[in-house]
A and B are shown apart, each in its own frame.
Chain A
Amino acid sequence: MKDRTRVFRVHPDSSRTLGIINPIYNTKSCAQAACHAHPRSQVVLGVLDVTLPLAAVDQDIRQGRIEVGIFAVSAILALSVIIGLFVTRWVAMPVRELVAATRHVAGGDLNYVIPETRDDELGTLARSFNNMTHKLSEARLQLFQSDKLASLGRLAAGVAHEINNPLTGVLTYSSFLLKRTKDQPEVQEDLKVIVRETIRCREIVKSLLDFARQSVPKKGPADVNEIIERAALVTENQLALNHVKLVKALGAEVPLVTVDANQMQQVFINLFVNAADAIGPEALGGTITVTTSHLKLSPVGITQIKKAQCPKRHSLINAEVRIDGKPSIRIKVVSGGNEGFIYRDPMYGQTRHQFGIAPEATKATQVMCPECSASLLVDAASCPDCGSAIFTFEVPGKGMVEGCTNRQCTWQRWAVVDESGEREFVEVRVRDTGSGIAQEELPRIFEPFYSTKGQKGTGLGLAVIWGIIDNHNGTIIVESQVGAGTTFVIRIPVEP
């Protein structure tokens, strides 16, 4: 049939024409008919050729196309509008909220919280976002405290020293007068007050100095549960007087930690007494719950490099330049004719290095021990991140630490720590049913001299606690709700 039809144009400009040819075969009736019989040998008798103009059909097709096109376009548009509305409602708005939240957070408002109303991926995203800002604000607070307390500690030590000198004048002269005026009872009474109050000043300054003491704690392996038991024993009477019950939920399998047991005991005593004060005598009783548990967290960013040495065993640790209060690792760099020191961040995984020289990222840059100038460069390897030369130093007993000579590059590797998996911590929670701490006061409670107890406290207790925990490479955070109580969470690394 296909061979017998054809579509053609009579003239290139004319409309299409359909031509159909149909051959007329010599059938039996044709050959035998009486009228005009055809010879039997003839096969085809003739051809019927029909030509039909397709102008009308073409018109219809065009019409149809336009209609279908219009329908399709309007259907797509309508569908897009509907989908668009749905997307706006279910995706764009929450994402916009997230974007707004990131702006708030970037602007410094870490208390911004997105409503976590949904159960889908966006809900999960909102929850992890809130979690992230929460952790970020905790970390920032910790960092802020650490910086502030370090500088306040130095300030306190300086101030204590300065105050003690004039105080010596007051105390020696007043006590000297007291000795020399034994026959004048009316003067004696007044002088005794001066001496007594000056001695009180001396005790305050002494506690300030104790707080400011930057000394290394005297650490040894100790059982946190045992320390808590001892602290409980010491505070027993005081708690009983306030009708406060101390509930101990001490974990059975808490590993030993390397701590200064005396200092840690002081931490718990302070926390228990604070909790009892928070509960108060008018509350007619309350409960302090202390729990201990064993915990595992990733070590990168929280492990301090405390010993570092060159191949000839000279120590690279520099106590004069401190980063975040911790002695830095000093290495000498000779680059482009200049030489200087780089003080590396002792917290492995962090990069708050201080550069006394800007090393060029060329082959000619030398990295060496400040003491003996032994090279620290690793010949056979280069930085996997940026391809620059790398250097290495030994942490005695804990393998090699490697770093990149490129100032812009943050790559570092400490195989022992990287491969050690998660780091173990002992977590202690001290929860009380006391009056709680107002949200706006929380960021300030670890500051020296910040006290909510008015005349009763010196405002040094929590600052001292913070200093001790920081000295043990631990962390302390506080969660509180006014009227419901406060929880202090302390984490101490199991490996020192």
Chain B
Amino acid sequence: MKKPTRRSALALAAVAALALTGCGSSDPLGGQDTASGSPSATGGTGGSGDALVIGSQQYYSNEIIAELYAQALEAEGYTVERDYQIGQREVYLPEVESGAIDVMPEYGGNLLQYYDAEATATSPEDIQAALAEVLPQGLRPLEPAEATDQDSYNVTRAFAEKHSLTSLADLKNVDEPLKVAANSEFETRPYGPAGLKEAYGVDVTVVPVEDSGGPLTVKALVDGDVQLADIYSADPSIAAEDLVTLEDPENLILPQNVTPIASEAVDEEAAAIIEKVNAKLTPEALIGLNRESVEKEASSEDIAQAWLAGQGLS
């Protein structure tokens, strides 16, 4: 009697371990393995016929925006090729410059800093004007959306109320040491600890959590392991966890309006279609789109289709 019970218990544990293997591999690694292969993949598709090649960053929200443009263009009879999930700027921008990618959803402030580290523009309008100047020959920024997706300093509602915080300037009055959970590169960014000290006179130390403001960062904040967390402003978890985003009156963090860049293959008509999508892309709309992905795990294709239909754009 004893033996079979023990054996079946162990077998059950083995099955459970196998099941765990399954879910473990699908989730956190899913987004990453496309990065390594993509540079060569995109290299091959350059200048393919009449199709417009639309790229996206290796970031789920960026892919949703790319898919919005792709489906809006297809609805007007354009042929579109999708080249999504391409690493970081250092990888995809050379592809855009070479003409292998025709449309790329970008973020104004960071894009400007990529091409001009000395840029001084801080308002969305100035950034847009500066972008038109610094983009390489053959590329142009299209009309940006109102929606932004930028780094933001967040605190829990309880912490904000305890110290009556609404803006980064109020952090001066907090009399306990401040730790901020963020990716490790946050340490070196202009809006990181050094920038915060310069603009607001506030000292913080960085606790590196490498999931780009994802669930681990949010958990660190909610658990009280850190007092502040760097989370992208379009992340639905800010509302879901009732976090307070601190205002930035000194414009420490550049506005990151969703700004598509387009090659010469994108004619005026196609540009107008993309800009029409952008005109409807408010900050709330972008958070809503992201929520569909994060909470309902819908595909970018389905999310884009439903939203465009709702806006009368498909």
Genuine A/B complex: no
Which chain B residues have a beta carbon within 8 Å of chain A's beta carbons?
Answer: none
